[in-house]
Structure 1
Amino acid sequence: MISFIFYFLAAFAEIAGCFSFWACVRLGKTPLWIIPGTFSLLFFAWMLTKVNVDVAGRAYAIYGGIYILSSLIWLWAIEDTPPDKWDITGAAICLIGASIILFAPRS
């Protein structure tokens, strides 16, 4: 489903954008990190408009589960910290909820 691509692009763009602020404030990086972070957050918002869902609130609810999974991938790939069993369990629960919202039969 093409919407999953948009959801994952949105998630990594949001995480990267927020991480730029984190890096500036918490890791002491230069404030110039905020510039690409801002563009990344704009890209995130644009990607969410591309998903194939009829109402924004439902799109955001589905996105929540994908965002959590993407955050754990970021944790492992970028911050070199593997998720523990509780991270994985929590993400699985959230993805089940997001799947119910996404695939529920609607009239």
Structure 2
Amino acid sequence: MTKTLLLYFATAVAEIIGCYLPYCYIKRGGSLLLLLPAALSLMAFVGLLMLHPAASGRVYAAYGGMYILTALVWLRFIDGIKLSPQDWLGAAVVLCGVMIMISGWRHDAN
């Protein structure tokens, strides 16, 4: 389960970077050169998403939860926004849901 969670985290980071860099270019007057690593990051996101062992619908469902957690980590440590108690509670609930889904996967149930 730890390996799957870490793979989801890496997948979410790649997606967030791929979306954050164009945001920096458009909204913050960043360099046009930001779009190249953004595109590469989104390509990495797709590649990482395909490495997950379960059926695509299961992967996307569990990934959505991990994306929420990663976005909150990004919000706290990259954007510097303090998380509220509700953020932490929501993150804990989401993590429980992701772990429940992943624990029920069978490699032969694709």
Q: Judge same fold: TM > 0.5, yes or no.
A: yes
| Map of 2:87 onto structure 1 | 87
Cα offset for 1:62?
Answer: 0.7
CA RMSD of aligned residues (A): 1.7
4+ long deviations beyond 4 Å: none
Relative distance call for 1:47 and 1:105 in structure 2 (3 A) is: closer
Alignment partner, residue 15 of structure 1? 16
Runs (5+) with no aligned partner, structure 1: none
| Corresponding residue number in structure 2 for 1:77 | 77
CA contact (8 A) 1:3 1:50 kept: no
Is 1:40 paired with 2:41? yes
The match for 2:51 is: 50
Cα distance in 2, alignment partners of residues 73 and 10 from structure 1: 14
What is the TM-score of this pair, normalised by structure 1?
A: 0.87
Kindly, what percent of the aligned residue pairs are identical? Answer: 35
Give the total of aligned pairs: 106
1:61 aligns with 2:88: no
Give me the TM-score of the superposition, normalised by structure 2.
0.85
